[in-house]
Structure 1
Amino acid sequence: MDAATSRKLDTSNFQERAADGLRQMIISGELEPGLPLSEVSLAETFGISRTPIREALKQLQIEGLVEIRPRVGTFVVVPSRRELNELFEMKQLLEGGAARLMAARGEVSELAAMRENVRQADAAVEAGDTARYEELVHDFHEILIAGADNGKLATHYRLLMNQLAYGRLVHTSLSQPGRSIASEHEHRTVLELIAAKDGIGAENCMRRHVHASQQALMSQLDS
């Protein structure tokens, strides 16, 4: 391998590492919506040159996580109310479809994992452990997507979740009084319908659950 090829591979690896790190920082809320992003500061944070940082930011712009404004700067995207509503509409379709597909598969390993998730979530809600319940909400939806056993659906779902920065939104929606209890009841109902192989019922219930989360989120944002 010549030196030029080696440098190209190094740049590609650095870009991927920076993109992965920045993506996670945005999704988790560590980098808040509207925050300006400095190539110099990010290069120092990741211990790499500005070139792979610049390329990583371009990739995240394609994914809908950052906005690059020529001659102004680069910023973490602030989704509009319309964009949030559109993303949640897509979430309804994808997760509803995943519930229907999982129900058709019968007694698969993901169903056992979902049962255990709901059991632990019941305990977390009863104990008032919102932080733990937030983790279990994330896991429930991940199990659902895995249970659908559809790679294309999973790929589109990952992109959507990144654009939603869903972890931050879950925290906001669950801060609505009574939402954790309602959310866990909705999860349990979805589980029961999937276990009963009621694909249509599971899909409709999952879509209602996503819609209820959306309403809770919007209510908290308005307040």
Structure 2
Amino acid sequence: MTLQKLKRPVSLFDMALDGIRSSIVDGTIEIGEQISETRISEQLGISKTPVREALQELRREGLVQIDPRKRTTVFKPDSQQLSELFDMRVLLETGAAERMYQRNREQSAGLMRAVVERMQRAVEREDYRGYRALDSDFHQTIIDGAGNGLISETYRPLSSKINVLRNRGLLDPYVVHKSFAFHQRLLALLENAEAEEFRAALTTHIQNSQKDYEAWLATLSPAD
């Protein structure tokens, strides 16, 4: 007789962490919004303790800020923080791209082509929410292609912050089409093994994204 291995139940902490993080990333909880432990615990149907622990973890990830008065708010980067965020993104993604070319170029190109084909279908259907998720997958392909666990671990919280911005700033169809054209160009450079050109284009793409998010953040009032 063979028994199936039992699956561990998801802890209340993990449930709270995943639920709050997803709500921040997808825009259910807005940038700069104050978060109430009581309200979240009531909505999730759990006690405050796992919610409080989840918020502390999200603070370590940089997705929420807790001030001296114990108020918890979703991060809202100023111009300096945004610049530092994208500077770090350039360093990690271009560094990962260099390793990807050395170790996993052909495999990564195949994975990236599959993502770009799905991106194209999303654009054609005007499924911009789906496109934004695929945008994240595209850049994760570069990180994974490096084959370096420390790079992936360092990138993870950065990726969460980028996704928060991506799901709010990448709404204009014009910006989406411009973004897609750049992703197509990056794929072509990867398939043609043009390493220097790929890293240069990736840097330009990330810098252009920063400008788009700066323009979007400038439209928000201080109270938003």
State TM-score, norm by structure 1: 0.82
Displacement of 1:212 after TM fit?
0.9
Counterparts in 2 of 1:114 and 1:51: CA distance versus 1, 3 Å: same
Contact between 2:34 and 2:74, CA under 8 Å: does it hold in 1?
yes
Which of residues 29, 42, 45 is equivalent to 1:44?
42
The runs of 4+ residues in structure 1 deviating greater than 6 Å are: none
Instruction: Specify the SS of the correspondent of 1:75.
Output: strand
> Does 2:214 correspond to 1:218?
yes
Q: Which moved more, 1:172-181 or 1:114-123?
A: 172-181
Contact 1:61 1:67 in 2 (8 A): yes
Letter in 2 for 1:81: S
In the superposition, relative to structure 1, how do residues 107 and 159 fare at CA in structure 2: closer, same or farther (>3 Å)? closer
Structure 1 residue 82, shift from structure 2 partner? 1.3
Aligned equivalent of 1:198: 194
Q: Is the 8 A contact 1:121 1:136 kept in 2?
A: yes
Distance verdict in 2 for CA 1:168–1:71, change over 3 Å: closer
How many Å apart are 1:218 and its aligned residue? 1.5
Q: How far apart, in 2, do the equivalents of 1:172 and 1:48 lie?
A: 29
Q: C-alpha distance in 2, partners of 1:178/1:87?
A: 24
Partner letter of residue 191 of structure 1?
Answer: L
**Aligned equivalents of 1:116, 1:52: Cα separation in 2:** 38
Structure 1 residue 172: Cα displacement: 4.2
- Paired residues for 1:49-64 under 5 Å: 49-64=47-62
Cα distance in 2 between the residues matched to 1:24 and 1:33: 13
Does the 8 A contact of 2:65 with 2:73 survive in 1?
yes
> Would the aligned equivalents of 2:27 and 2:167 in 1 still touch at CA under 8 Å?
no
**Structure 1: unaligned runs, 5 residues or longer:** 1-9
Per the TM alignment, residue 144 of structure 1 is displaced from its structure 2 partner at its CA by 2.0
Name which of structure 1's ranges 190-199 and 128-137 shifts more when overlaid on structure 2. Answer: 128-137
Judged with a 3 Å threshold, the aligned counterparts in structure 2 of structure 1 residues 105 and 56 are, in CA distance, closer, same or farther, namely same
Q: State the Cα distance separating 1:160 from its structure 2 match.
A: 0.8
Secondary structure at the counterpart of residue 60 of structure 1: helix
1:183, distance to aligned residue in structure 2 (A): 1.7
1:140 aligned partner, one-letter code: F
**Per residue, is there more helix in 1 or in 2?**
1
SS state at 2:11 partner: helix
Report the secondary structure of 1:178's partner residue: helix
In the superposition, the TM-score normalised over structure 2's length comes to 0.82
**d(CA) in 1 for partners of 2:44 and 2:127?**
34
CA distance in 1, matches of 2:15, 2:154: 21
| Residues 106 and 195, structure 1, Cα contact 8 Å, conserved in 2 | no
State whether structure 2 residue 153 is matched by structure 1 residue 170.
Answer: no
Count residues with an aligned counterpart: 211
Please give the root-mean-square deviation of Cα atoms over the aligned residues, in Å. 2.4
1:171 is displaced (CA, Å) by 4.1
Q: Label 1:204 to 1:58 Cα distance change in 2 as closer, same or farther (>3 A).
A: same
- Identify if the C-alpha distance between structure 1 residues 183 and 63 changes in structure 2 by more than 3 Å, giving closer, same or farther: same
